Amino acid sequence: MATICSEAGDEINDPGAAPYGNFINYYTFNPPENRLSLIPATLVQDLGYSRDKDTLILDVGCNSGELSVAFYKHVVPEEESHRRTVHLLGFDLDERLIERAQQTNPHPDSITFIPLDITGDVGRLQEFLTRRGCPRFHLCVCLAVTMWVHLNHGDSGLLRLLSRLASLSQHLLLEAQPWKCYRSAARRLRKLGRSDFDHFKALKIRGDLAGHARRHLEEDCGMELIQSYGSTSWDRQLLLFRRI
């Protein structure tokens, strides 16, 4: 089996086969309910987005789309789906996962999946916004992605990711993996006899990852923390930020 998880929430896996966290069966060991049970179903209304206007949600690193779809259904109840104009755009750098997400998408009118690397050219996200006349996404969801960008692109890559998310969103829901997950990912890679993640040993941002992310978003990106939804069963905080 390529992936298992521990109760502590380490992404114990075969990172050699999924060096970006692009696990093919992610939702068999981290089902959407683990996170959704912490997020209020009234989130979109709570943030002040009305029924009459388009609400745009961005899901960063959406894997095979299961959480994206479950999140959409969670915040847009069935009986409201025909009245509300909530659109979710999910993207992932792994094209196979996106193909799977597209094939199983139950709401192609409201949910769109595209292949895209958040560390590269994000012109397609800007196009999406421009077509809908919005300067940014109302809500950007970035769950369990920061560690993979950090390991593959280093400290500067992590900070660039956070800055980019802040510039793209009015509200940002962030789940940053804690440091123990980094150690597990690197250890597994070594056990497989493969070389370390390019940046692992050189990372200066370590320890309290959620705290580091919060500081950068608040001090350098014009955002403020407005809500913490507690910790998942994997001991990860779900933090909600707002553009000031």
Looking at the Cβ atoms of 10 and 92, the one nearer to ligand SAM is 92
**Site stretch for ligand SAM (CB under 6 A), options 21-29, 76-84, 195-203, 223-231:** 21-29
For every residue of 188-222, DSSP letters joined together read HHHHTTPPPPTTGGG----S-HHHHHHHHHHHHSS
Size of the site for ligand SAM (CB under 6 A): 20
Which residue type does 242 have?
Answer: R
Binding mask 109-148 for ligand SAM (x = CB under 6 A): --------xxx-----------------------xxx--x
Query: Which token pair is 156?
Result: 């500067």
**Which of the stretches 41-49, 62-70, 100-108, 203-211 binds ligand SAM when contact is defined by CB under 6 A?**
62-70
When CB distances to ligand SAM are compared, the closest residue is 61
Query: Rule CB under 6 A: is residue 149 a binding residue for ligand SAM?
Result: yes
Q: Is 238 in the site for ligand SAM (CB under 6 A)?
A: no
Ordered strands of the 137-143 beta sheet? 111-115, 86-92, 55-60, 137-143, 169-175, 237-243, 223-231
Is 182 near ligand SAM (CB under 6 A)? no
Which is nearer to ligand SAM, 25 or 45 (by Cβ)? 25
Residue 241 contacts ligand SAM per CB under 6 A: no
**CA angle (230 as vertex; 228, 231 as ends), nearest 5:** 130
**Residue number, 1 or 244, with CB nearest to ligand SAM:** 1
Told to check if 69 binds ligand SAM by CB under 6 A, we report no
Nearer of residues 99 and 224 to ligand SAM, judged by Cβ? 99
CA 7 – CA 2 distance, rounded (Å): 17
In the set 15, 21, 154, 178, which binds ligand SAM (CB under 6 A)? 21
Q: What residues from 90 to 109 belong to the interface with ligand SAM (CB under 6 A)?
A: 92-94, 97
229 binds ligand SAM (CB under 6 A): no
CB 213 within 8 A of CB 146: yes
d(CA 49, CA 52): 9
Q: Output the smallest distance, CB 83 to ligand SAM, in A.
A: 28
Q: Which single residue is written with the structure tokens 């943030």? A: 47
Nearer to ligand SAM, 26 or 49 (CB): 26
Give the separation between CA 106 and CA 100, rounded to whole angstroms.
Answer: 12
Stretch 74-93 residues interacting with ligand SAM (CB under 6 A): 92-93
Site residues for ligand SAM per CB under 6 A: 20-22, 26, 61-63, 67, 92-94, 97, 117-119, 143-145, 148-149
